[in-house]
Amino acid sequence: MKKLLLFAFAATTLFSVSSCKDGSEDESDPRTLVIQDSLVNILPTWQALKVKVAKDKTSIDVIVGDATFCNATPEVKAQKAQQLGKMLLRIYSPDSHFEQGNLIVTKDIHNTSFTPKDGVSTAIPFAELKK
C-alpha cells in the first residue's frame, strides 16, 4: 500500500513539474504561472499552455491546447482573445509594450510546440485595448 501511494505521489509530482516546464519560453518568469492560474477564467477547458514573449516585450503568442475551444466560432475566439489581451496587459504592466499578439488554439491537448500544425490563430487587439 505504501509503495502504491509513493508511486502515485511520484507520478503526480513528475506530471506537475513537466507541465510547468511547458508553460513559457522563459520558464523563470513568474508571470507565466499567473497566466496559467488565471487562464481558467477565460478558457475553462484548456489543457496545454505555451507562452512566447519577444525579448523587447512588443509581441506575445499564447498557444493553448483545448480540443473543445478549437470548435468555437471566430467571433467567440475574437472575444476570448480580447479578454486574454486585457489579462496580459494587467499581468505584464507596467513593463509591457505589446503591440501585437496571437491566441493560437490547437486540438492537441499535449502540445509542446510554439507552432502547432493544426493551430488556429486569432489576433489579440492590443491597440484597441490600450485606448
Answer with the residue of higher pLDDT: 1 or 20. 1
Per-residue pLDDT of 36-58, as tens digits, reads 999 999 999 999 999 999 988 89
C-alpha distances out from residue 101 to 5, 6, 40, 60, 98, Å: 43, 43, 19, 5, 7
Residue 130's DSSP bridge partners are: none
Question: What nine digits make up the cell of 123?
Answer: 489576433
pLDDT at 57: 87
- pTM for this predicted structure: 0.77
3-state secondary structure of 76: helix
- pLDDT tens readout for residues 19-41: 444 334 555 688 889 999 999 99
